[in-house]
Amino acid sequence: MSAKILIVEDEPAIQELLAFNVTQAGFIPLRASDAEEAWQQIRDYAPDLILLDWMLPSTSGVVLAKQLRSQDQTRDTPIIMLTARGDERDKILGLESGADDYITKPFSPRELMARIRAVMRRHIPVLASDTVSLGGLELSPESHRVTARGKPVELGPTEFRLLHFFMTHAERVYSRAQLLDQVWGTQVFVEERTVDVHIRRLRATLESSGLDNLIQTVRGSGYRFSTN
């Protein structure tokens, strides 16, 4: 599944150029020319990342970034601000408004794509396509395959995403609520005990290879993937 990138830019030529580069990089571009169109796209398509121009008609990019941060649906959606302004004060203002990164026009497509990938890796590693190897497990998001000590393991889609999240966030404790946000997504309403069910299934699958203790229960806090 390719990530969807919402481009909020009122200048048609720049919007077109951004959409072209986003497509070339293997992502799906969504387009908006102002804040109102942006919200429409967000409601309809739930983008994974937002490229937001600073200078927009009516609602500015900075104001829109603040609004995006205040809404449940977009609170955690990474934002990269685009701007012609280069001074340090504006950069700080942009980041304070809730943007995750900042890029000054004119920028090279290569630089922009590098920023997009970096922000995505930081925020939604579940979408990253790199194979992860840890503690005797190997997981490939692209082929959707998992091996435990070299042997193929069959996982359901939720267990797969859960394991991918754990393997890319090892040695840290996550509460059930945090796991729901990260693995199930913020727009889905599921009870916290659902997490326990999927953790049990994941452990049961890993048991045959003796790797079930990689998924540790941290009493009163949640779960942790640890090789120690």
Residue ranges that bind Ca ion, judged by CB under 5 A: 10, 53, 55
Give the nearer residue to Ca ion in terms of CB position, either 35 or 124.
35
In whole angstroms, how close is the CB of 8 to Ca ion at the nearest point?
9
Encoded tokens for 31? 């387009």
In whole angstroms, how close is the CB of 112 to Ca ion at the nearest point?
15
In whole angstroms, how close is the CB of 10 to Ca ion at the nearest point?
5
User: In the bound complex, which residue of the shown chain has the CB atom lying closest to Ca ion?
Assistant: 55
Give the nearer residue to Ca ion in terms of CB position, either 18 or 120.
18
Encoded tokens for 185? 């997504």
Report the C-alpha gap between 42 and 176 in whole angstroms.
Answer: 26
In whole angstroms, how close is the CB of 18 to Ca ion at the nearest point?
11
In whole angstroms, how close is the CB of 98 to Ca ion at the nearest point?
18
Give the nearer residue to Ca ion in terms of CB position, either 39 or 225.
39
Give the nearer residue to Ca ion in terms of CB position, either 61 or 78.
61
Q: Which residues, other chains included, contact 47 with Cβ-Cβ below 8 Å and sequence gap of 6+?
A: 4, 5, 6, 30, 41, 77
Contact by Cβ (8 Å): 195, 207: no
Which amino acid, residue 201?
Answer: R
Give the nearer residue to Ca ion in terms of CB position, either 81 or 120.
81
Contact by Cβ (8 Å): 176, 192: yes
In whole angstroms, how close is the CB of 192 to Ca ion at the nearest point?
43
Give the nearer residue to Ca ion in terms of CB position, either 55 or 113.
55
